[in-house]
């Protein structure tokens, strides 16, 4: 059995950065396919969610999306920052190039 262990970047929740409506908490009803993040085929680690303009990141372990105890499967960067896939941290938006889909 493999156990992945890594340090997760700062998990600061900023009010007003994202709308965590029921649709974003995992319901697939009415959500376009491009917004459904999948960990299948990805190595364990942190990933920028480019469908959400790198404002959030996801954590993949064993091909599965990690979900917090509160039921969230995405982790927002603080306001004014984006997740940088190169450094695996939230950085000032001006310093991050978020790939296009």
Whole-model pTM over 0.85: no
- For residues 24-53, one letter each, b for 16 or more C-beta atoms within 10 angstroms of the residue's C-beta and e for the rest, the string is beeeeeeeeeeeebebeeeebebbbbeebe
HEC per residue, 26-95: CCCCCCCHHHCCCCCCCCCEEEECHHHCCCEEEEEECCEECCCCCCCCCEECCCCEEEECCCCEEEEHHH
**pLDDT tens for each residue of 60-101:** 999 999 988 888 889 999 999 999 999 999 999 999 999 886
Query: Does 13 have pLDDT greater than 60?
Result: no
> Per-residue confidence at 3, pLDDT binned at 50, 70, 90?
very low
pLDDT at position 18 is 40
**pLDDT tens for each residue of 35-69:** 688 999 999 999 999 999 999 999 999 999 998 88
What would the two tokens of residue 73 be? 């499967």
What would the two tokens of residue 25 be? 């908490």
Mean pLDDT for 16-35 is 47
What would the two tokens of residue 15 be? 């009010």
pLDDT at position 69 is 84
Domain boundaries, the chain: 22-95
């Amino acid at each position: 059995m493999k156990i992945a262990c890594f340090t997760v970047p700062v998990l600061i929740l900023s009010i007003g950065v994202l709308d965590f409506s029921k649709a974003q908490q995992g319901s697939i009803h009415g959500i376009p396919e491009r917004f459904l993040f999948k960990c299948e085929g990805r190595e364990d680690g942190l990933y920028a969610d480019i469908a959400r303009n790198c404002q959030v990141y996801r954590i993949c372990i064993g091909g599965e999306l990690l979900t917090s105890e509160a039921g969230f499967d995405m982790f927002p960067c603080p306001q004014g920052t984006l997740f940088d896939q190169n450094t695996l941290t939230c950085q000032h938006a001006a310093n991050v190039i978020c790939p296009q889909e």
